[in-house]
């Protein structure tokens, strides 16, 4: 397997270092630079990605693709800002087909829209050329998308209790099948880049190891959702992560401050606090 070399810079995250001119918001986006060009993984909620790319000198004009981890607005909200910034007339946007599923959240009998906040045609008009996948697939040499991740662990239920999807007029619980992550073959193993890890971070790792055939995890970066999935899932996830060979653990976004502190205590120097502007070399 040919490996990829390059870097990942966080453009959108929930935190920003003091005195930085970049800004934070609840969301995630990362700018990847590889031998085959540059691309964007997620686009944040919309207020940060273009601004921060300029501050961090990451040229959105030259990207050759966009990868969307899942439909949620804190990962897709920046699309109408990013698409016009791309020089090419059209740009491939990789995603699971459920990205356009009709979904909602229900709280105290109030329904709020829970899907991607734009219709497909609007994004296509701005240059998006959607490339859908359900399965594990290579998107450039050494860089893969997980496709749907099998839900196998007993403790990773997520915070899905109040999320629903409407399919052919029928309301079903939404397990966020569209949630997928990047798996990059690097010199020292694999690098896993998460959006929100709604599938469960341990499920994602198991799937990545199975599909790549590599069990050395050079890095894990991105949203783990364990700050929003209850204490039991959080604690069991931290315990389970100790069973893997992980060199760099950089949870971001929906991990939350409390879970990050627990992980710092559990993993010591393997762990790093994420923030907008952080660059990870691979």
Residue numbers 54-93 binding Fe ion by CB under 5 A: 72, 74
Distant-in-sequence, close-in-space partners of 13: CB < 8 Å, separation ≥ 6: 24, 27, 28, 252, 253, 274, 275, 276, 278
Of 29-37, 106-114, 159-167, 221-229, the segment contacting Fe ion by CB under 5 A is 221-229
Tell me the closest approach of the beta carbon of residue 196 to Fe ion, in angstroms.
3
- Taking the complex as a whole, the smallest distance from the CB of residue 33 to Fe ion amounts, in Å, to 23
- Total residues at the site for Fe ion (CB under 5 A)? 5
Nearest CB to Fe ion, comparing residues 65 and 72 = 72
Residues 130-159 that bind Fe ion (CB under 5 A): none
How many beta carbons lie within 10 A of that of residue 236, not counting itself? 17
Contact characters 191-210, Fe ion, x per CB under 5 A: -----x--------------
The piece of 41-49, 154-162, 250-258, 272-280 that touches Fe ion (CB under 5 A) is 250-258
**149 vs 196 by CB, closer to Fe ion:** 196
From candidates 254, 262, 276, 278, binder to Fe ion by CB under 5 A: 254
CB of 141 to Fe ion, least distance (A): 28
Stretch that binds Fe ion, among 4-12, 106-114, 208-216, 223-231 (CB under 5 A): 223-231
What distances in angstroms separate CA 210 from CA 10, 96, 146, 234, one per listed residue? Answer: 27, 20, 11, 23
**To the nearest whole angstrom, how small is the minimum distance from the Cβ of residue 70 to Fe ion?**
6
What is the per-residue burial (b if ≥16 Cβ within 10 Å, else e) of 185-197?
bbeebbbbbbbbb
For residue 226, report the phi and psi dihedrals to the nearest 5 degrees.
Answer: -75, -10
Q: What's the closest the beta carbon of residue 198 comes to Fe ion, in angstroms?
A: 6
Rounded Cα distance between 145 and 134, Å, is 9
The CB-of-42 to Fe ion minimum distance in angstroms stands at 8
Instruction: Give the strands of the sheet with 91-95, arranged side by side.
Output: 128-132, 91-95, 65-67, 37-41, 29-34, 6-12, 279-281
Rule CB under 5 A: is residue 98 a binding residue for Fe ion? no
Q: What is the CA radius of gyration of the chain?
A: 17
Q: Verify binding: residue 163, Fe ion, rule CB under 5 A.
A: no
Nearer to Fe ion, 112 or 243 (CB): 112
The b-or-e profile of 134-161 (16+ CB within 10 A means b, else e) is eebeebbebbbbbbbbebebebbebeee
User: DSSP string covering 229-241, please?
Assistant: S-HHHHHHHHHHH
CA atoms lying within 13 Å on the CB side of residue 100:
14
Chain residues in the site for Fe ion (CB under 5 A): 72, 74, 196, 223, 254
């Amino acid at each position: 397997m040919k490996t990829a070399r390059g870097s990942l810079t966080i453009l959108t995250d929930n935190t920003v270092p003091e005195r930085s001119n970049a800004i934070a918001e609840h969301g995630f986006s990362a700018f990847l630079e590889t031998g085959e060009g540059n691309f964007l993984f997620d686009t944040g909620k919309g207020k940060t990605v273009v601004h921060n790319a300029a501050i961090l000198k990451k040229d959105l004009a030259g990207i050759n693709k966009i990868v969307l981890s899942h439909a949620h607005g804190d990962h897709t909200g920046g699309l109408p800002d990013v698409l016009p910034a791309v020089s090419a007339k059209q740009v491939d946007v990789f995603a699971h087909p459920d990205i356009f599923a009709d979904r909602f959240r229900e709280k105290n009998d109030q329904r709020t829209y829970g899907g991607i906040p734009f219709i497909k045609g609007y994004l296509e008009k701005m240059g998006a050329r959607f490339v859908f996948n359900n399965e594990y697939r290579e998107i450039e040499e050494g860089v893969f998308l997980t496709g749907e991740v099998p839900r196998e662990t007993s403790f990773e239920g997520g915070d899905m209790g109040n999320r629903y999807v409407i399919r052919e007029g029928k309301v079903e619980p939404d397990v966020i099948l569209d949630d997928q992550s990047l798996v990059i073959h690097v010199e020292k193993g694999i690098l896993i880049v998460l959006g929100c890890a709604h599938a469960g971070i341990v499920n994602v790792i198991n799937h990545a190891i199975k599909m790549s055939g590599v069990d050395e995890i050079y890095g894990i970066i991105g949203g783990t959702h364990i700050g929003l999935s209850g204490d039991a899932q959080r604690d069991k996830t931290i315990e389970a992560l100790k069973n893997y060979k992980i060199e760099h653990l950089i949870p971001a976004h929906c991990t939350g401050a409390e879970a990050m502190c627990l992980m710092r205590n559990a993993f010591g120097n393997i762990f790093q606090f994420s923030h907008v502007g952080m660059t990870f070399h691979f």
